[in-house]
Structure 1
Amino acid sequence: MDWQPDSDWTPLLTGTGVSNGGVWQTPDGLVVKRLLPGVERPDHYAYWRRQAEVAGSGLVETTAGLRAPRCVKVDHDPDGITVWTVAVEASEVEPAELATALGRFELNEIRPADWFARGILRDRLANDEQRGGWTPLASAQDLPDELRQSCQELWVRRTDVMAELDALPQQVIHGDAHPLNLLRQDGDDVIATDWEQFGFGPLGFDLAYLLLSTDCAIDELLTAYQRGSAFAWPTTVVRRGTVLTAAVTVVARAAWSLGQPDPGDHLDRLVRLAEVVDEAVGR
Structure 2
Amino acid sequence: MNGESQIRSVLESACAAAGLSADGAEAISVGENAVYRLPGHIVARISRPGRSGVARREVAVSRWLAASGMRAVRVVREAPQSVAIDGRPVVFWRELPPHGVSRPVVVAGALRRLHGLPPPVDIGLRVLRPFARLDGRIDAATGTSDEQRCWMRGHLASLARRWADLPKGLPWCVIHGDAHEGNIVTADDGEAIVLDLERFCIGPPEWDLVQTAVNRATCGWITGDEYAAFTAAYGFDVMRWEGFELLRDIREFRMTAWLLQQVAERPQLRDQAVHRLACLRGEHGARPWTGWAPVY
2:206 is the counterpart of 1:223: no
Residue among 87, 111, 135 paired with 2:96: 87
Displacement of 1:197 after TM fit? 1.5
The DSSP-based 3-state class of the residue aligned with 2:65 is: coil
Residue among 202, 205, 219 paired with 1:203: 205
Following superposition of structure 1 onto structure 2, how do residues 154-233 of structure 1 map, counting pairs within 5 Å? Answer: 154-165=155-166, 168=169, 169-185=171-187, 189-210=191-212, 211=214, 215-217=220-222, 223-231=228-236
The DSSP-based 3-state class of the residue aligned with 2:28 is: coil
| Distance in structure 1 (CA, Å) of the matches to 2:14 and 2:166 | 42
2:78 is the counterpart of 1:69: no
Q: Is the 8 Å Cα contact of residues 40 and 48 (structure 1) preserved in structure 2?
A: yes
Residue among 15, 18, 24 paired with 2:37: 24
Following superposition of structure 1 onto structure 2, how do residues 29-178 of structure 1 map, counting pairs within 5 Å? Answer: 30-35=41-46, 38-39=49-50, 42=53, 47-55=54-62, 58-61=63-66, 67-73=71-77, 74-75=79-80, 76-77=82-83, 79=85, 80-113=89-122, 115-128=124-137, 136=145, 138-139=147-148, 154-165=155-166, 168=169, 169-178=171-180
Residue in 2 aligned with 1:267?
274
Residue in 2 aligned with 1:13?
28
| Distance in structure 2 (CA, Å) of the matches to 1:35 and 1:260 | 17
Residue in 2 aligned with 1:144?
none
| Distance in structure 2 (CA, Å) of the matches to 1:219 and 1:137 | 39
Q: Is the 8 Å Cα contact of residues 119 and 201 (structure 1) preserved in structure 2?
A: yes
Residue in 2 aligned with 1:247?
252
Amino acid at match of 2:132: D
Displacement of 1:243 after TM fit? 1.3
Amino acid at match of 1:94: R
The DSSP-based 3-state class of the residue aligned with 2:232 is: helix
Q: Is the 8 Å Cα contact of residues 138 and 257 (structure 2) preserved in structure 1?
A: no
| 1:59-106: CA deviation from partner (whole Å, max 9, x where unpaired) | 123657x63034441515564554332532122432343244334432
Q: Is the 8 Å Cα contact of residues 55 and 91 (structure 2) preserved in structure 1?
A: no
* TM-score normalised by the chain length of structure 2: 0.63
**Percent of aligned pairs sharing the same letter:** 18
Amino acid at match of 1:174: H
| 1:92-151: CA deviation from partner (whole Å, max 9, x where unpaired) | 43234324433443233322545324333232234357669xx848459xxxxxxx98x6
Displacement of 1:215 after TM fit? 4.3
Alpha-carbon RMSD across the aligned residues, in angstroms, is 4.5
| Distance in structure 2 (CA, Å) of the matches to 1:93 and 1:243 | 21
- Give the direction of change, closer, same or farther, for the CA distance of 1:207–1:261 in structure 2 (3 Å limit): same
| Distance in structure 1 (CA, Å) of the matches to 2:287 and 2:173 | 22
Displacement of 1:24 after TM fit? 1.5
Displacement of 1:13 after TM fit? 1.0
Amino acid at match of 1:180: G
Q: Is the 8 Å Cα contact of residues 110 and 172 (structure 1) preserved in structure 2?
A: yes
Structure 1: state its 5+ residue gaps: 141-147, 279-283
